Amino acid sequence: MATEDYYLNILPSSIFYDKLDRAKEDEYIREQNPYWKTFIREQRIKTLSIFDTLAKGFYYVSHMREGDMFYDDRWNYLYFWTGLKVLDNKYDSSFSEVMAVLKSVRDRNDQNDEYYELINTSKEHLKDLKQVYDYLQNYGTIELRISPHNSECSLMYKEYVQNSYATYNVMKGKCKGKDTEHHCKVFNRLETKYKKKDIKDLTCSGIQVPQKVLEVQDFNDSEEDEHSLQGHGTPVSHLAPVPGEFTRDMTIGDRNVSPSSGSTSSLTTVFPLLGTASLAFFFLKFTPIGSRFYRSIFRKQIIRSNEEEEAQEILGNSYEFPHANIEDTKHNIAYYSM
């Protein structure tokens, strides 16, 4: 599900869907628990070309541990990811069967009734509901990036934001006051959860050239250049005077003013601060430094998420539930509502 736009790829929903796409296939294949070894592998959907992809996604989510940054929303994401895989691969006729298997996996780990409405949402409403759900999950990140007026973004990013908001508004109108259809029940619950965020019609320029993921290294390169310059005894902040900034021994008219002069002490304190603040805003807003700084923040988030995943693999063998038959209804993972 990755795109050519780095900023779309680092949205929370994109990060988790990518985790599902990259889940290790051999983990569920090596699993000796009868539920995975016999029950799952012998389902009728095993004939689908996407069966292994779905099974490894099911296994990955089933073995997520509390504390993972996506733990609370894991089943919701899995439902939308699974449904989209089925529809995109033209397996519409198998939609109900796939969802029945997903329900079995989910019930084995979590039996919270709130998931009932989502798992029973029809395939006709899945794509729109997924678009709304992803948008609400991503809204905070989107707002952080483009809420300032006329912020730069690619056309791809702008269209994603505008289309998602439009779908959100349409569904909001259709589901207002309706509690009979499954997808409306899910939407109204989401609306209750996220209305405190005051969802706005955000937009951006749409003229920025999409940046690929690898360009996140640019910020590291700039940091290395800075360290290199500092290693040669030249602080980056002093490479060149900043126009309009007051220096320690500035000239007013034809006479030099010492920084210790009482009559200008307030000036030499206030104006540099104002100049520095203005320059900081300029560089962060209108130069590559700002975008690099922004990318660095989210790169650290992705690295932290990946490190957590690797740490879980190192701590021990693949996690197994203590029960060994599919009839045991004991659940081991707490469920948090949407």
pLDDT reported for residue 265:
45
Q: What is the percent of the chain with per-residue pLDDT over 70, rounded to a whole number?
A: 62
207 pLDDT more than 50: yes
Q: Which residue has the tokens 């079995």?
A: 104
26 pLDDT more than 50: yes
Q: What is the percent of the chain with per-residue pLDDT over 90, rounded to a whole number?
A: 47
74 pLDDT more than 70: yes
94 pLDDT more than 90: yes
DSSP 73-127: GHHHHHHHHHHHHHHHTT-GGGHHHHHHHHHHHHHHH---TTHHHHHT--HHHHH
Mapped onto helix, strand or coil, the DSSP state of residue 11 is coil
122 pLDDT more than 60: yes
pLDDT reported for residue 114:
73
Burial of 147 (0-12, 13-18, 19+ CB in 10 A): exposed
Q: What is the mean pLDDT of residues 47-63?
A: 95
Q: For all residues of the chain together, what is the average pLDDT?
A: 74
The answer to whether 214 and 291 are in contact (CB under 8 A) is no
Q: How confident is the model at residue 328 (pLDDT cuts 50, 70, 90)?
A: very low
pLDDT in tens, 177-188: 888 899 999 999
Distance of CA 162 to the CA centre of its chain: 18
- Give the integer Cα–Cα distance in Å for 81 and 171: 20
pLDDT reported for residue 293:
54
261 or 196, which is more confident: 196
292 pLDDT more than 80: no
- Give the integer Cα–Cα distance in Å for 137 and 12: 7
Q: 141: closest CA among 20, 301, 289?
A: 301
210 pLDDT more than 50: yes
Structure token pair of residue 245:
């900034």
Distance of CA 198 to the CA centre of its chain: 19
The answer to whether 154 and 210 are in contact (CB under 8 A) is yes
pLDDT reported for residue 202:
93
Amino acid at 338: M
What is the domain partition of the chain in residue ranges? 6-211, 215-291
Q: What is the mean pLDDT of residues 282-287?
A: 52
Q: What is the mean pLDDT of residues 46-73?
A: 94
pLDDT reported for residue 112:
78
Structure token pair of residue 320:
């197994």
Q: What is the mean pLDDT of residues 218-222?
A: 45
pLDDT in tens, 136-171: 999 999 999 998 877 999 999 999 999 999 999 999
Helices within 207-287 (DSSP H only): 217-231, 265-286
pLDDT reported for residue 184:
94
219 pLDDT more than 90: no
50 pLDDT more than 80: yes
